[in-house]
Amino acid sequence: MKFNKFLITIVLLLSFCSFQLQAQVHRTGWRQIIHKNEGSWFASVEAKRIAENVLLYQRDIGGWPKNIQMQEPLSESEREKLLGLKESTEDVTTDNGATIQEMRFLSKMYRQVPDERYKKAFLLGLDYVLKAQYQNGGWPQFFPLKEGYYTHITYNDDSMLNIMNLLKDLKDHPERISIKPSDEILTKVKKAFEKGVDCILKTQYRQNGVLTSWCAQHDENTLEPAKARSYELPSLSGKESAGIVLLLMSITNPSQEIINAINSAVAWFDDVKLTGIRQEYIVNEEGRFVDKKIVKDPDAKPLWARFMNLEDNKPFFCDRDGIKKATMAEIGLERRRGYAWYTDDPSVVLNQYPEWKAKYDKPNFNKKPKEEYNMVVAKDGSGDFTTIQEAIYASKAFPYQRVIINIKNGVYREKVRVYSWNTHVSLLGESKENTIITFDDFFKKINLGRNSTFHTSTLLVEGDDFIAKNLTIKNTSGPVGQAVALSVNANRCYFENCSFWGYQDTLYTAGEGFKHYFKKCYISGSVDFIFGAATVLFENCTIHSKSNSYISAASTPQGQKYGYVFKNCKLTADDNVNQVYLGRPWRLFAKTVFIDCDMGGHIRPEGWHNWSKKDAESLTFYAEYNCKGTGFKPSERVNWSHQLTKREAKKYTKKNILGDTSNNSKIQWYEKL
């Protein structure tokens, strides 16, 4: 049975590939020839015949029309017609690879057969490309300009990118191009490339002040994202942006602006990747591709949507009516089947990024801030440092006053560690929504044995008396197992107006006897996403569940009076989540209490789970008091949990939970925040 299923799968895949080749034969044949490795074939009779066609199709202005199968034989009447079109500028373009691919073909031909006609045609094409560039550095889809969206700066289908890569080869890798322009032309090429890079940097979209990625096309005047065809609305592109970043990463000795653009785009790719799904192609009984759909697959490699909302990065899909839909399944068969709505191109960027970063974006450990107790981190280079870790390295050990690190809006893709000697450090973001620290380590990726979880955190705090405000901390690895966003292994740590995003094990609060305070924070995750041994007060926080699982997994040490205390918190969940436990014991003496909390309907009636540890039912302390919401069902809770009396609840004061009760006259640490 398994063997038959395997055979069926192979047949379906072969059928789909066959269909794709048939459906795109108008484009694929010529492209296959263009991408042939240079060699003796380009001196063959067949290659020379095709080269004659290429010369015929070129217009006097220097460019070529698109979607032409140059390898197809031409009749005498077709040749005469093409000669008659030489002076025409209609449909001359760089769209779908046109012009650039013909120029690259002629370069390969000229290396084997130094026919001066090939050189002349190539240089004429180069002149066409240089003339087509806007003053702001961008290129339209058609030149001379064709009315409509064709005048937009066009990244779609790599139109401008193909030009930029050719110009880069001409100026940086002349060995790749057999035809050598004059020094005067090469000067123009260099200037055009620099203007193109400037255009790319200026068109990178800022979402609430944070650099993200690019649209498939941008208005040639305002540089804002622009619409093309009816189903190609202004949006952030998961596909075209990948090629742009790879181009920027290929630039040697990049400026700080280029480095910032790359770092920001990579962080965006990491943030918007779609995990746990894959595209499934459907074929009929004849083996023909008829449809495609999205299915859940926890082992699938990440995907990215082709189009995402400018405001919130949510994927959308369109029919020819231009109306946004939330899923591919909601659009008609014609557009669903006939367009590439998903891509995995950014995975190439993410794979190459670590090597690039190690080469071009090394931290400067010797840089000194203007003020040693008041530093600024800004990705655009306007502060003392461009990374948070650089600021940590520059901080005094065991300082006599608090070290303030102000972090400007931006996406900081880095693992940050506040060392044990970095006491009294404050990380103050410009805004919770737009000051984001993100990374994507997870258990299997770290692969350091049974304790790999504790090496996965995006932010690790080991210095006592730490403060964080107005920040978002993310672990973007997705639902792949243990992956910590924030790990706190220090005492007297305070978090206010912060967001913590992850799945399993989002927030680790460590330390026997350590005390932490989370106020007005947002914490989201799936399995045991708040866990650890510390005493922690969560006050006025939102606790959001992403899956049917467990909110907390306390490991409160025996004899410790308080564990987790949630006061005035709101418990929410994704739409499809409806079976969530309040907690289960990571260790037998776990303590977790919910007081005056609003519990959504996703909370299970029984409330608590013993983690298959019978002893936990007598040793843990799980309790609630005066909660509300459809998820608060005290009469249905497990009989070994507690509903506090009013008198018992009064003991859960801030001072009792967090304070040092050994000296009543002492000002408490949380009163100095």
Query: What's the Cα-to-Cα distance from 411 to each of 237, 386, 475, 502, rounded to whole Å?
Result: 18, 11, 13, 16
Number of C-beta neighbours around residue 38 at 10 A:
14
Active site residue 505: yes
Two structure tokens written together for 545: 């569940």
DSSP-derived secondary structure letter, 64: B
Contact criterion met (CB below 8 Å) for 109 and 45? no
Contact criterion met (CB below 8 Å) for 407 and 471? yes
Comparing C-alpha atoms, which of 381, 405, 402, 401 is closest to residue 392?
A: 405
Which of 312, 384, 505, 615 is catalytic? The answer is 505
d(CA 393, CA 236): 35
CA 191 remoteness from chain centre: 32
Bridge partners (DSSP) listed for residue 500: 473, 523
Two structure tokens written together for 649: 């609840």
Contact criterion met (CB below 8 Å) for 97 and 70? no
Radius of gyration of the chain (CA): 30
Angle at 503 between CA 499 and CA 508, to 5 degrees: 65
d(CA 66, CA 47): 20
d(CA 85, CA 99): 16
d(CA 586, CA 590): 7
With the CA atoms of 176, 181, 182 and 187 taken in that order, what torsion angle do they form, in degrees rounded to the nearest 10? -80
Parallel/antiparallel/unpaired status of strands 515-519 and 493-496: parallel
Number of C-beta neighbours around residue 558 at 10 A:
9
CA 305 remoteness from chain centre: 11
Which of 528, 575, 598, 660 is catalytic? The answer is 528
Q: What SS3 class is residue 515?
A: strand
Give the burial class of 62: count Cβ atoms within 10 A of its Cβ; 0-12 exposed, 13-18 middle, 19 or more buried: buried
d(CA 573, CA 579): 10
d(CA 344, CA 300): 11
Mention every residue, 6+ apart, whose C-beta is less than 8 A from residue 8.
Answer: none
Phi, psi (deg, nearest 5) at residue 178: -80, -20
Type and span of the H or E element at 129: helix 116-132
Contact criterion met (CB below 8 Å) for 33 and 49? no
Number of C-beta neighbours around residue 361 at 10 A:
17
Peptide linkage before 144 cis (omega within 30 of 0): yes
Q: What SS3 class is residue 358?
A: helix
d(CA 178, CA 200): 28
Two structure tokens written together for 487: 């790990």
Two structure tokens written together for 17: 């590939």
DSSP H stretches of helix in 204-255: 240-249
Amino acid at 380: D
> Strands, DSSP E only, in 326-466?
342-343, 374-377, 403-407, 410-413, 416-418, 425-429, 435-439, 459-461
Active site residue 528: yes
Residues classed as catalytic: 505, 528
